[in-house]
Amino acid sequence: MTARSLLTVVTALALGAALAACSGGEDPAPEPAQAGADSPAPDTVDESPVPSEPAPDDGPAAPVGWAAQPLERDGEEFPAVTGGAAGETVTATGADELAEHLAAEEPLVIEVSGDVDLDGTVEIGSDKTLTAAADEAAVLTGGRLVVDGAANVIVSGLTLDTAGTAVSVRGGAHHVWIDGNTLRDGGGDPLVSVTAGADHVTVSRNHFRDAAAALSIGGREEEPGALRVSVHHNLFDGTATRSPRVRGGEAHVFNNLYRGDAEYGVESGYGSAVLVEGNYFDGFGISVRVDPEEPGAAFTRDNLLVDTAQPELFGSVDDPPYAYELDDTADVPDIVSASAGAPG
């Protein structure tokens, strides 16, 4: 599908009226989905089992969304993210070796072999791809990965089991692609955070598991003009909140699968602009909500809701400026279950 034309979104009052007309009385009869609206899933979708066998993973092919968009900063042109593809491929089997490769000045593809205890914070420098060695499971524990001010970084195919935030993107870092990982626990902190002026980030095909919070974008002190993040084809599985929560940023959230007993899925606050489309929500208290004290704009369309309340909408949101393929929402459980998370 080519890039969508600019969407002129109606006012919050008009959207509220549309939702009221759609939801009807206490026990409304199912109605067919309407363009630009969310709807309860039909019984044939609601009762369909979610496949448990993942499809073979071929690794990241090409990013979709903001990480694939060029950026001009301080008179310099930055193309789409490629990670360390221009450099050699090396292997890391321990924390010290891994940290040394990640801090190197030259581009590198770093393949992790086996289980590695990070033993604290490990920083990722520019022009790096961090991934699992072929046909091996790579599990990182005991710390977190930080992309602080670096550019052109790919983190892919890893399992991160941490007691805090697993991946932090901050300090003006840009062109970062977090793809095809399994992240769990978090100890109450978001498994992934994108803050402090980070920009042009794509978070895709990850499996967020059993955590109080999945993904936080931005904060109260963010300056405008950054924090552009695409979130697509992720599995939010037993994540109670922040999938994502957006503060002061611009997020495009599409074709994700939400399942579990959760408080909410997506939240928009502090002047954010969040477009939520083509997602499948199953068992979330509310699909999308707006921060009641410092609201951000939120618009939804073509989501399917199973045991999930209708969204809260506010303000106006433009379509993203890039081309993307939007899968049919009814197919999202099959597609995401087969592709999200680290292989193995």
pLDDT 10s digits, 255-271 = 999 998 889 999 999 99
Pairing of strands 215-218, 192-194: parallel
Residues 6+ apart with CB under 8 A from 144: 118, 121, 122, 160, 162, 164, 165, 166, 167, 168
Residue 98 and residue 89 in contact, taking contact as beta carbons nearer than 8 Å = no
Residue 286 lies in a domain: yes
Residue 94 lies in a domain: no
Residue 136 lies in a domain: no
Is the pLDDT reported for residue 36 higher than 80?
no
Tens of pLDDT, residue by residue over 180-207, are: 999 988 678 999 999 999 999 999 999 9
Number of independent structural domains in the chain? 1
Residue 168 and residue 149 in contact, taking contact as beta carbons nearer than 8 Å = no
Sign of the dihedral defined by the CA atoms of residues 71, 322, 304, 57, in that order: negative
Between CA 208 and CA 185 the distance in angstroms is 9
Residue 334: how many other CB atoms lie within 10 Å:
17
Pairing of strands 138-148, 245-247: unpaired
Q: Which of 19-23, 132-136, 326-330 has the lowest mean pLDDT?
A: 19-23
What's the CATH number where 174 sits?
A: 2.160.20.10
Residue 58 lies in a domain: yes
Is the pLDDT reported for residue 283 higher than 50?
yes
Residue 146 and residue 120 in contact, taking contact as beta carbons nearer than 8 Å = no
Q: What is the pLDDT of residue 9?
A: 31
Residue 310 lies in a domain: yes
Is the pLDDT reported for residue 342 higher than 70?
yes
Residue 258 lies in a domain: yes
Tens of pLDDT, residue by residue over 94-146, are: 999 999 999 999 999 999 988 999 989 999 999 999 999 988 889 999 999 99
Is the pLDDT reported for residue 49 higher than 90?
no
Pairing of strands 71-73, 76-78: antiparallel
Residue-averaged pLDDT of the chain:
84
Between CA 159 and CA 148 the distance in angstroms is 21
Q: What is the pLDDT of residue 74?
A: 80
Residue 2: how many other CB atoms lie within 10 Å:
7
Residue 130 lies in a domain: no
Domain range spanning residue 227?
A: 12-24+33-71+156-339
Q: Which residues pair with 14 in a beta bridge?
A: none
Dihedral angle over CA of 251, 255, 258, 264, nearest 10: 30
Residue 332 lies in a domain: yes
